[in-house]
Chains A and B, each alone.
Chain A
Amino acid sequence: MKMTFKTALLSTILAAGLAMPAFAQEVLKLPNMSYRTGPFAATGTPHMNGQRDYMTMLNERDGGIGGVRVAFDECETGYNTEKGVECYEKSKAEGALVTQPWSTGITLQVLPRTNVDAIPMYAPGYGFSAMQDGKTFKWAFNPPTSYWDGASMIMNAISDGDLANLKGKKVAFLHLDHPYGKEPLPLLEKLAADHGFELLPIPVGLSEMQNQSAQWLQIRRERPDFVVMWGWGAMNAGAITEAVKTRYPMDQFVSVWWGAHEPDLKLVGEEGKGYRALSWNFADPNAKLMQDVKKHVVDAGKSQLNQGAGEFESTPYQRGILMSVILAEAVKAAQEHAGTKMINREQLRWGLENVKLDEATLEELGATGMMAPFSMSCSNHTGHAGAWMVEWDGTKFNKVSDLLSADRAVIDPLVEKAAADYAAANQPWQMNEECTQ
């Protein structure tokens, strides 16, 4: 096991541009920015393990994508935006086909550069919501749903499908005080103004993630009807334990998909019953896809995951797998369209715009029910797959809703405005003029 791991790594490293150029042409460089250290490692690591393991699985099972091996190098950022810029420059110099910044802060820094450097930026389920507008953000993709989609779906779910039900109620928005956590605020503010509910934003500073007693005292005093959480890393576990302590009713506590994280809930076990999270994926360890990963990667000892802790069965790990599935599908589409196995950045961009993950494809991949089907186009870089509410029953998450979808009529105008503002602030900005949809 050790030998193969070594040789695999060695070949990736050699291929990473330090050795002969002839060698370098034989792999698809799809690097990732990871953060397996620091306070955010708790949620970061399982996702990154998943992303990595799917690519490893493709290499092992199919010899890569379309017969070309994938070099899935990681560059450690520790969620530090400074490291992010360094990693971006490094991977760009090494000829990476894509950049996966993995932090809304890094995304914001890298986004304008990708537009100039012509590198596709792939931010699955995170990043800047306005990236949906493919005409403005020619090179950026955030499938399968954006944060604004997520916020809209959560509000729809807690109001039982009609936001008018929220009139006069109070919704606390507990969020990380960071670009990521502030992302849904414009949409929520608009919804609050339109539907007459009170929005109470409660920021959690980076240094307070594990000690949220002030925030939860505020929640206890204000008695909001719902708490919507936009947390990450150590913050989620902190919030869930504080919620239990404050005796806040768990069925009024809803999180975005990053909060569908089993280890955080296991801390409180039974007492977390009723806690809900919106998730665009649903863990199914028995799906054919997962069994293939298990067979070719996990059991073969090529994975870094923590099996003892049940990571394989967990939602975030499987979400990471799906993140790589979407990317790999884009590569496949690009290879077919371009008629070459060794695609370039422009071709991958085409591939991402033409990802079609319909029921049939999901079936073929062995991922039925793990995520909702979606497709992207040149004007729609998000795909809007929709998501489910999952509820913690004391030991695991269960699907408790039908597939939810976001309120496009509210989001799209906001996206349009945000994209236009962004382009105006970054003049001269390269738009995708060819896209006519």
Chain B
Amino acid sequence: MTGIVPTEDRPRRTIAVVHAGLGQPSSTRLLADRLADATARELKALGHDVTVEVVELRDHGHAIIDAMLTGFPTGDLARDIETITQADGIIAVSPLFTTTYSGLFKSFVDILDKDALTGMPVLLGATGGTPRHSLALEYSMRPLFTYLRADVVTTSVFAATDDWAQAGDRTRRDDGASSLPERIERAGRSLAATMAARGEHTKRDDPFASTPSFLDLLGGD
């Protein structure tokens, strides 16, 4: 948790950071943290208090497969899914393995309720060995979240190994692309703007409250 002392006047926004980095330390975690910092900074500048909750999927590796086999998540995993689905915005970051997000990352998304992320502001990030894989964000990760009807912000951030070499350097890269810090800031601003523009996250529909009455079921189509 980061953030400043909450006050009555400043509306609160919760950012859930979910990442599938495996290493210790993990460059995926590093990217996720930077994206969270950039978003939180911008939200504070826009007059919000910010809470950041980080979910490391590595910690839930076994539990994710168990949930897939049994049909329900339990324990810490269930609690973290609640944290993510009740957040005001999500930063989702995966390493790219064999051309796409990792199996762990996808398995986690697979056990979420298909409606759990509807309308959720989401910022995507990915890490990989070389910049040649950067479009995986656009051809695989973005469609995944579009399918879930999440509100994915336009800028997504890919960090290759050599991006980190220039990480402190805000000048243009040799190939003319924006530097990693610039991209992170742009992405953070974008997610912050989307989150700030909305009211606080309201609880998802209660499935019991939205069950039609039996007379409607009998007569309805």
Is B a genuine binding partner of A? no
